[in-house]
Structure 1
Amino acid sequence: MSVIAQNLIWGVRRRTIVNDVSLTVAEGETLGLIGPNGSGKSSLLRLLAGLKSPGSGRVEILGQDIARVSRRALARQVAFVQQNATTDTNMSVRDVVRLGRTPHRSPLTGWTMADEAAVSTALEQVDMAGLRGQAWQTLSGGERQRVHIARALAQSPRVMFLDEPTNHLDIHHQIEILRMVRRLDLTSIVALHDLNLAAMFCDRIVVLQGGRVVACGVPAEVLTRSLLRDVFRVEAEVTPGPYPGQPHIRFMAA
């Protein structure tokens, strides 16, 4: 398994936000995290990536307890793509992606051919090589998100975490981004709001409610009419999609 979480508990003051969560993610799998607002998706993602420390429980990535691994060493294996990631300075696309090489370099080492190759490969993977010299501030929302995914890929990770990477993008760019993530030769864990996109692009789905896992499985098993009613408080018609195991959800008007 690429990622194993055991009995994770985390909270703020007296409020428990992630409550006894356990899960496993196989190598090369795309796992979706879904749930209502406040269900703990983003917090769980940060616990799994090592950006937060659990109150109790443990996370293993690639067979290592991440609590025993340095932040720098972990960043060579794991990349995190934030929701609506921004870059304040007006850097070029290439310079933004170059930042992903930081975990692999020390202050005394110069820029190497391996670094340049990693940046070039990352830009090609997200189809942004042709814009490598363009200023960040001139990019569209979808292009910016591609660049931040390229920056994550430049870390040469084996596991990538993405927190609502399609938020505020139009449907074309949402599908484009998730199709690209799906093609990558990585283990990916993605927090998503759109249930149909989760069904289209995730091998399995974990459903969170109140910080707990209430369902886990392939989309066709998890995204049922009763679960949508109980967890998301909506009435919906769930029908088979164009591909096996990939349901389509049609929400019903009140």
Structure 2
Amino acid sequence: MSVVARNLVWGVRRRTIVQDVSLSVAEGEVLGLIGPNGSGKSSLLRLLAGLRRPALGRVEIGGRDIARVPRRMLAQQVAFVQQNAATDTNVCVRDVVRLGRTPHRSALSGWSAADEAAVSAALARVDMSGHQAQPWQTLSGGERQRVHIARALAQTPRVLFLDEPTNHLDIHHQIEILRLMRDLDLTSIVALHDLNLAAMFCDRIVVLQAGAVVACGTPEEVLTPALLRAVFRVETEVTPSGRPGQPHIRFTAT
């Protein structure tokens, strides 16, 4: 399912945070959002997912303006994985993933075989079936993030939004989460801090600065020393990584 943004504008009080952003994501594509802190990545993600309404512009998912799509129907099509989601409730892994079925159930409907199958499939997809009875509070950071992705997959979405899903994870779990995202066969839009991870796992990258798009293209096209100097204020050497279209970035002292 494709995602198209047309001239999005959004802000708080008199501060504009997202400035005239237009972009398109093809079905099955992984699009990365990168930019300095405060560049508007998280705000843009929430606009694209329908969690916020733009002041101007619109978002189309599957060719339909999401402002005209009922909230429940939209939640059946898209899922959002936020960074550092937590709970103090004493629940097990399977109970967390079951929450993903909420958009598919009415207030009076019982738990169905289809709900059960979706939860089991989501747990298996993130390799957490063996942990389904484990209490949430005993999970590691990487395991919790996999459970959050499983909850999103239990929605059976066609578009997945992820807001810095590797935040505070060690490098092994960062790669594990992003490899999982890439292999899901969904349209995915992910905000990332790590530029090398963006190069490894994203088909295309959008660079944001002060809420505006300053570059969009393949990692090879976008991640250049000149752009990284202008946007991130760092000096870099960008070299081939050995994988086609995936440059490697080395930060250099100035």
Place the TM-score, normalised by the shorter chain, in its bin.
over 0.9
Tell me which residue corresponds to 2:106. 106
> Any residues of structure 2 matched to 1:112-191 within 5 Å, and which?
112-191=112-191
Any idea what SS the aligned residue of 1:118 has? helix
By how many angstroms is 1:90 displaced?
1.5
The separation in 2 between residues aligned to 1:135 and 1:181, in whole angstroms, is 24
Any idea what SS the aligned residue of 1:241 has? strand
TM-superposition CA deviations, 1:1-55 (whole Å, max 9, x none): 6100000000011111000000000000000000000100000000000000000
The separation in 2 between residues aligned to 1:81 and 1:62, in whole angstroms, is 20
The separation in 2 between residues aligned to 1:212 and 1:73, in whole angstroms, is 30
Partner amino acid, structure 2, of 1:86: A
Structure 1 gap ranges (5+): none
Any idea what SS the aligned residue of 2:243 has? coil
TM-superposition CA deviations, 1:59-110 (whole Å, max 9, x none): 0001111001111110000000001111220110000000000000012111
By how many angstroms is 1:242 displaced?
1.9
1:30 matched to 2:26 = no
How large is the RMSD of aligned CA atoms in angstroms?
0.7
1:39 matched to 2:31 = no
Any idea what SS the aligned residue of 2:161 has? strand
Tell me which residue corresponds to 1:95. 95
What is the number of residues matched between the two proteins?
Answer: 254
The separation in 2 between residues aligned to 1:99 and 1:221, in whole angstroms, is 40
Any idea what SS the aligned residue of 1:75 has? helix
The separation in 1 between residues aligned to 2:88 and 2:70, in whole angstroms, is 28
Tell me which residue corresponds to 2:52. 52
Partner amino acid, structure 1, of 2:13: R
Tell me which residue corresponds to 2:8. 8
The separation in 1 between residues aligned to 2:107 and 2:45, in whole angstroms, is 30
The separation in 2 between residues aligned to 1:76 and 1:61, in whole angstroms, is 12
Q: Which runs of 4+ in 1 moved over 3 A?
A: none
Any idea what SS the aligned residue of 2:242 has? coil
**Normalising by the residue count of structure 2, what TM-score does the alignment of the two structures yield?**
0.99
The separation in 2 between residues aligned to 1:87 and 1:119, in whole angstroms, is 19
Partner amino acid, structure 1, of 2:230: D
**Normalising by the residue count of structure 1, what TM-score does the alignment of the two structures yield?**
0.99
Segment drifting more, 150-159 vs 61-70: 61-70
The separation in 1 between residues aligned to 2:48 and 2:149, in whole angstroms, is 18
Tell me which residue corresponds to 2:213. 213
The separation in 1 between residues aligned to 2:186 and 2:88, in whole angstroms, is 29
By how many angstroms is 1:117 displaced?
0.4
> Any residues of structure 2 matched to 1:185-200 within 5 Å, and which?
185-200=185-200
Any idea what SS the aligned residue of 2:58 has? strand
1:226 matched to 2:226 = yes
Tell me which residue corresponds to 2:201. 201
Segment drifting more, 65-74 vs 137-146: 65-74
Any idea what SS the aligned residue of 1:4 has? strand
Partner amino acid, structure 1, of 2:131: L
Any idea what SS the aligned residue of 2:27 has? coil
By how many angstroms is 1:214 displaced?
0.3
TM-superposition CA deviations, 1:93-133 (whole Å, max 9, x none): 00000000000001211100000000000001101011011
Tell me which residue corresponds to 2:78. 78
Any idea what SS the aligned residue of 1:36 has? coil
Tell me which residue corresponds to 2:65. 65
Percent identity (aligned): 81
